[in-house]
Amino acid sequence: MLFRALVVVALAALVATPACKGSESPQPAESEPARVLLVPKDHALYARFEGTGLENDCSDDAACHRGGCSDEVCAAGESSPGTCDALEVQIPAGAKCGCVARECAWWSDGSVTLAAASAPPSPAEEAGPRCGDITCGAGETCIEYYGVAGPRGPKFQTCGIPCPHGKCGDGKKCITIADGPGPVCQ
């Protein structure tokens, strides 16, 4: 019985003894690199890469996702749309999409940079004139014409490239549409 009492006292002392600080201290976590925003606000493609028209609020990296056809958009949510056009500048391979200052954004540790880009043309520069309820494409004009009823019938409008002298550029041919806009490039 004395032996049991001694064993109990020894175990109690062992449990109550503080452990060496070095033996149970957690290993220091690797410090995360400073997050440097990759796309400056004055970059020509800032709105495209940062998905400024999309929801971007976040509390951690799990809320941020790559999207678009080439994974060029960083935004909150599972599927971020893109326009699938070829961009003159690409997001570098070492860049990360994550939560920076409570917003989803492209970032790096400062060792990766984004190339400059020329400003994309504004919608007004890309589009042609208004034609009724639609806007004509670049290089097109609004062509007004009468159908088979002539001037007694309604006046129609369509977008196109007229070729009154029978000549078209860019490999197109001048075709006359008799009950339509007349000679147009197609």
Compute the distance between CA of residue 56 and CA of residue 65 in angstroms, rounded to an integer.
Answer: 10
119 versus 94: the higher-pLDDT residue is 94
Q: Give me 186's structure tokens.
A: 């197609």
CA–CA distance, 26 with 91 (Å, rounded to integer):
37
DSSP three-state, residue 50: helix
Given a cut of 70, whether residue 12 has pLDDT beyond it is no
Residue 58 inside a domain? The answer is yes
Instruction: Kindly state whether residues 135 and 83 are assigned to the same domain.
Output: no
* Structure confidence at residue 64 (pLDDT): 92
Q: Which helix (H) or strand (E) holds 65?
A: strand 64-67
Residue 80 confidence class, pLDDT cut points 50, 70, 90: low
Same domain for 93 and 60? yes
Q: What share of the chain is helix, strand, coil (3-state, %, to 5)?
A: 20, 25, 55
Mean per-residue pLDDT over the chain, rounded: 78
Which range marks the domain in which residue 75 is found?
36-108
- Shared domain check, 40 and 104: yes
Instruction: Please classify residue 114 by burial: count the beta carbons closer than 10 Å to its beta carbon, then call 0-12 exposed, 13-18 middle and 19+ buried.
Output: buried
pLDDT at 16 over 60: no
Res 29: pLDDT: 45
Q: How many folded domains does the chain comprise?
A: 2
175 in any annotated domain: yes
Q: Which residue has the higher pLDDT, 41 or 126?
A: 41
User: Whose CA is closest to 50, among 74, 78, 83?
Assistant: 74
Better pLDDT: 77 or 161: 161
More confident site: 18 or 131: 131
Distance separating alpha carbons of residues 12 and 4, to the nearest angstrom: 12
What is the pLDDT, as a whole number, of residue 4? 56
Q: What is the rounded CA–CA span in Å between residue 158 and residue 109?
A: 53
What's residue 37's pLDDT? 93
Lowest-pLDDT choice from 70-74, 83-87, 146-150, 180-184: 83-87
Is 98 in the same domain as 129?
no
CB under 8 Å to 167, separation ≥6 — which residues? Answer: 174
Q: Is residue 170 part of a domain?
A: yes
Residues shown for the chain: 186
Q: Are 169 and 162 in contact (CB under 8 A)?
A: no
pLDDT tens across 129-139, in order? 888 888 888 78
d(CA 51, CA 82): 9
Q: Is the pLDDT of residue 65 over 60?
A: yes
Q: Name the one residue in this structure whose structure tokens are 């490239």.
A: 161
* Of 14-23, 49-58, 79-88, 169-178, the least confident: 14-23
Higher per-residue confidence, 141 vs 120: 141
Q: Which of 176, 171, 167 lies closest to 184 in space, CA to CA?
A: 176
Residues 102 and 157 in one domain: no
